[in-house]
Amino acid sequence: MKYSKYSTVVIGSGIAGLYAALKIEQQANLPDGLLLITKSKLGESNSRYAQGGMVGVLKENLKDSTESHISDTLKAGAGLSELNTVKFISENSDKVIKDLLNFGVEFDRNEKGELTFTLEAAHSVNRVLHAGGDATGRMIEQALCRKVSSNKNIEIYEQTVAVELLINSEKDCRGVVVFNDITKEYETIYAPAIILATGGIGQLYKYTTNPSGATGDGIALAYNAGAVMQDLEFVQFHPTALAFDDEENRFLISEAVRGEGAKLVDADGIEFMQNYDSRKELAPRDIVTRANYNEMKKNNTNNVFLNATCIPKDKIEKRFPNISKKCKEHGIDMAQDFIPVAPAAHYYMGGVKTDIEGRTSINGLFAIGEVSSTGLHGGNRLASNSLLECVVCAYEVANYLKTAYLNAPKQIDETIKAEIDTYTVTEDFRPIDVTALKNELKDIMWNHTGILRDEKTLKEGLDKLERLSSKFPRTGKCQTKAEYEFKNMLTVAKLITMSALNRKESRGAHYRLDYLQTNEESEHSYTTKYEGEICFAK
């Protein structure tokens, strides 16, 4: 076992992690240095695939205001968004976007060189900035990766999985154990500040827009460390993923296509959204998702269709070059043909409970980006608010650490030593077909803890997850990255399912067929690990 120490460790190299590393390096005093860890290649993340854009309530957009953005976010959030958080993030969007421009992010502009804004569902005005047409995430991520890679004060570990947070007897986080998936070696890293920026959980579901790394690792790490978790039952399903299976996920057909006028239709070309909501295609995401799902069930089909033929061909090519290219690969010409689409797991509103500076309930442990639950999104995220939250919270965690004492811990207590020892034991591993186990878990989650839930299906799902656990013999140390991921997926799948059982109402993306009404009295749900068991707290 190798040992090292740093002033701060950032885990995850999506937009939240990359930007946090850059801002911390700019501002904080780092006597023991800064380390950025990622389990894949630098920048490989959900962030890279973000299409539609990033909310920017910019001073120069005279049609917009923070009041309007706050109101839209609160409405979409189904009564669970925190007003102070929403306000803070909205009011800071102008500042962080200007900062991103300084870091070399090139948002799309019109012929006059002005930034252009598009419309997405449940936004009252055009306020979504985009880059590379429909490649917003990739453009931001590449600009930040360039800065991180050329910054000699940021050390980078790639292909390195964070496998356990080190918590001392005082319940403070003092470091992390990591596993190099290439060399198969472990390393203990001590640091006074550990920042989880590990992204979402989409891979827990059979159909998802998320790439293979979205296995909920940070959720499992924080939960196992004893952190307070929030609203774990809230999974967002996007209404329009292309209904063809790629290797690891389904390709997203951005909401911005509906923002430009595309309509949802059935196999006969008949529009149906007017039967579900007066805002039709631009209703909040949970409503459009359930409408599509309902139409599919009613007509016994695997998809509905998106009719984008009303958008001029040249506009399609300019605004949606990647979506149009992907459709062509499947023989679909967006300007002439209907696009087969279906809902897919997309985003996790639940997560590690944090404040705006990323502080969790554990001293020394921070969480930012999709792994966190700041209270911005509530029960249903407004489109393009995620990238904004990633950037504002990364900015704020750096701001917080500016004044923190960041010397690596000098003494390690017995609780941590005992934990580290478990990784030095040699074990006789028998091989496991993790891919098969992962697929089984994804089926269970899609069928039992999916878009529509009720007590019976959730309980059956839990039973199946318990049976699946018994096929996986690892409890601590694993042999590969994929095994660690599966271990985390199991933990998070149970957490989501139990939390979904516990919330006896329908609200936002959590839709219970046996409790259709919203209970006006209900609030956030909080979950912690207590004496090894899941504990729901008020």
The minimum distance between CB 255 and ligand SIN, in angstroms, equals: 3
254 vs 506 by CB, closer to ligand SIN: 254
Residue ranges in contact with ligand FAD by CB under 6 A: 11-17, 37-40, 44-47, 49-54, 136-137, 161-162, 197-200, 209-210, 213-214, 217-218, 252, 347, 369-370, 384-387, 390
Instruction: Please confirm, yes or no, whether 285 is among the known catalytic residues.
Output: yes
> Which position's Cβ is nearest ligand SIN?
52
- By CB under 6 A, which span of 224-232, 378-386, 423-431, 520-528 interacts with ligand SIN? 378-386
The minimum distance between CB 296 and ligand FAD, in angstroms, equals: 20
The minimum distance between CB 504 and ligand FAD, in angstroms, equals: 28
The minimum distance between CB 285 and ligand SIN, in angstroms, equals: 8
Nearest in space to 251 (alpha carbons), one of 300, 183, 202: 202
52 vs 461 by CB, closer to ligand FAD: 52
By CB under 6 A, tell whether 135 contacts ligand SIN: no
Is the CA virtual torsion 265, 269, 275, 280 positive or negative?
positive
Nearest in space to 240 (alpha carbons), one of 284, 285, 203, 276: 285
Complete DSSP assignment for 37-95: E-SSSTT-SSGGG--S-EE---TT-TT--HHHHHHHHHHHTTT-S-HHHHHHHHHTHHH
Which residues, including other chains, have CB under 8 Å from residue 463's CB and lie 6 or more apart?
none
Give the Cβ contact number of residue 426 at 10 Å. 6
The minimum distance between CB 77 and ligand FAD, in angstroms, equals: 15
Rg (CA), the chain: 22
Which of 217, 255, 260, 389 binds ligand SIN (CB under 6 A)? It is 255
315-374 residues in contact with ligand SIN (CB under 6 A) are 347
Half-sphere exposure of 401 (CA within 13 A, CB side): 36
By CB under 6 A, tell whether 203 contacts ligand SIN: no
Q: Which residue has the tokens 């489109």?
A: 383
Nearest in space to 479 (alpha carbons), one of 399, 402, 423: 423
Nearest in space to 293 (alpha carbons), one of 513, 465, 501: 513
Which of 12, 52, 202, 340 binds ligand SIN (CB under 6 A)? It is 52
142 vs 385 by CB, closer to ligand SIN: 385
**Of 127, 174, 250, 285, which residue is the catalytic one?**
285
For residues 258 and 284, what is the distance between their CA atoms, to the nearest angstrom? Answer: 12
The minimum distance between CB 18 and ligand FAD, in angstroms, equals: 8
CB 461 within 8 A of CB 444: yes
> Which position's Cβ is nearest ligand FAD?
14
Which of 254, 303, 372, 506 binds ligand SIN (CB under 6 A)? It is 254
- Contacts with ligand SIN, residue ranges (CB under 6 A): 51-52, 252, 254-256, 347, 383-384, 386
Which residue numbers are catalytic? 285
